[in-house]
Amino acid sequence: MKFNADQITGIQPIIAGLERLGYILDQELATVVFLLLKLRKPLLVEGNAGIGKTELANMLARLLDTQLIRLQCYEGLDVNSAVYEWNYQKQLLGIRIQEGSNRSEEEKERHIFSEEYLLKRPLLQSISAIDQAPVLLIDEIDRTDEEFEAFLLELLSEFQITIPELGTVKARYIPYVVLTSNRTRELSDALRRRCLYHWVDYPSASKELAIVQKRFPDIEKKLAAQLVSFIQYLRAKKLQKTPGVSETLDWALSLMALGYRTLDVEAVERTLGCVLKSADDIRSVKEEGIASVLAGAS
């Protein structure tokens, strides 16, 4: 059954559709996704690392059976690597090749600044889709600087880009935009105002258990329950790096690969590195005593 964004009338098809793909979401997130599909406002998802923000966009693209275009933000990201760039090497060759021809200077220039020599970067790609609206994921927007954010703001309201040598490209299909942020920097109010907002928290124990079982249907029930309650216990502690859902899944996979059917002291000791990524945290948990943590968590 093909999922059609224009025809859905409630949030149930979204929950069901994404669950079929292995992504578990609650009513709140489903509502926000529904609004994203209907109102076509960009969705800003904030939350701690490793709780499935990026995955949401991935799954959304699969649900809509459309292309996912991803722009990974980093410090110093500039318009050239986000929007478009000319293929300079090819242009240089192009000039060489044209040397013998009797075209005028203007014609030559027009030739090497034609679409043939244009390298489309994610943002330009996202607005030049020809058959259906893609999902545009702008990942970790907080890592870019304010200038880029301002540029993005303009793009998100107009959905058009002007290339001086070529003209203006306007989106035929407005992309579904998902922005994620880890809050390393406060985003501008202007950008926030333009977006739907959703804060993702760590999942509850029952939801996390459902996620683990969805991802690894073969996992022993007991093991899954034990490791989820262990993780939940760790999250309640004040650690330097709180484990996210991705850590839970990594851990489940490692434990299964090592053939453990229940979680015991030895199993935890051998695999604690999957969950805790800081020497201080590992030390503090070991000091507390893994046996007592296990007892306290279950």
Partner 1 sequence: MKKTAQIETGLTDAIVGFAQFARRRGLNAGMEETFSALKTFDLGLFSDMPVFYYSLKSLFCTRREDIPLFDELFKIYWLSEEDNVRRRSEQKISGIQNIPQRHNSLMFWGMKNKEERDAEEYDSRTTTGANTVARLQKTDFSRVSEMDATLLETLAEKLWREMLRRLRRRRKKNARRGQVDLRRTLRASLQQGGEPVYLRFKNKKPRKLRLVLLLDVSGSMDKYSFFLLRFVWALQSHFEQVESFIFSTRLHRITELLKTGGLEKTLRLLSERTEDWSSGTRIGECLKTFNEEHARHILARSACTIVLSDGLDTGEAGVLASEVQKLRRRTKRLAWLNPLKGTAGYAPTARGMSEALPFVDHFHAAHNLESLMELEELLASI
Residues of this chain that bind partner 1 (CB under 8 A): 9-11, 27-28, 31-32, 34-35, 38-39, 41, 43, 46, 75-76, 80, 85-86, 88, 91-92, 95-96, 98-99, 105, 108-109, 143, 145-146, 182-186, 189, 192-193, 195-199, 238, 240-241, 280
Minimum CB distance to partner 1 smaller for 145 or for 288? 145
Contacts of 175 (CB under 8 A, 6+ apart): 69, 126, 127, 129, 133, 134, 135, 136, 159
Residues 85, 86, 87, 92, CA torsion sign: negative
Nearer to partner 1, 193 or 221 (CB): 193
Contact 75, 142 (CB under 8 A): no
Residue 207 C-beta: closest distance to partner 1, Å: 15
**Chain CA centroid to CA 95, Å:** 40
φ and ψ at 161, to 5 degrees?
A: -130, 135
Nearest to 56 by CA among 211, 204, 192: 211
What are the beta bridge partners of residue 70?
Answer: 137
Q: How far is the CB of 14 from partner 1 (least distance, A)?
A: 11
**Residue closer to partner 1, measured from CB, 135 or 187:** 187
Nearer of residues 44 and 64 to partner 1, judged by Cβ: 44
Min separation Cβ 227 and partner 1, Å? 24
Residues in the chain: 298
46 contacts: CB under 8 Å, gap ≥ 6: 53, 180, 181, 182, 183, 197, 198, 199, 200
Would you say 74 or 291 has its CB closer to partner 1? 74
For residues 205 and 232, is the Cβ–Cβ distance under 8 A? yes
Q: Is the dihedral of CA 254, 257, 261, 265 positive or negative?
A: negative
The residue among 83 and 212 lying less far from partner 1, judged by its C-beta, is 83
Nearer to partner 1 among residue 160 and residue 197 (C-beta): 197
In whole angstroms, give the CA distance from residue 183 to residue 186.
6
> Is there a contact between 117 and 86 (Cβ–Cβ < 8 Å)?
yes
As measured in angstroms, the least distance from the Cβ of 133 to partner 1 is: 18
Alpha carbons 187 and 180: distance in angstroms, whole number: 11
DSSP lists the bridge partners of residue 86 as 118
Which residue, 12 or 262, is less far from partner 1 as judged by CB? Answer: 12
| Shortest distance in whole angstroms from residue 55 CB to partner 1 | 19
CB of 184 to partner 1, least distance (A): 4
CB of 56 to partner 1, least distance (A): 14
**CB 23 to partner 1: min, Å:** 18
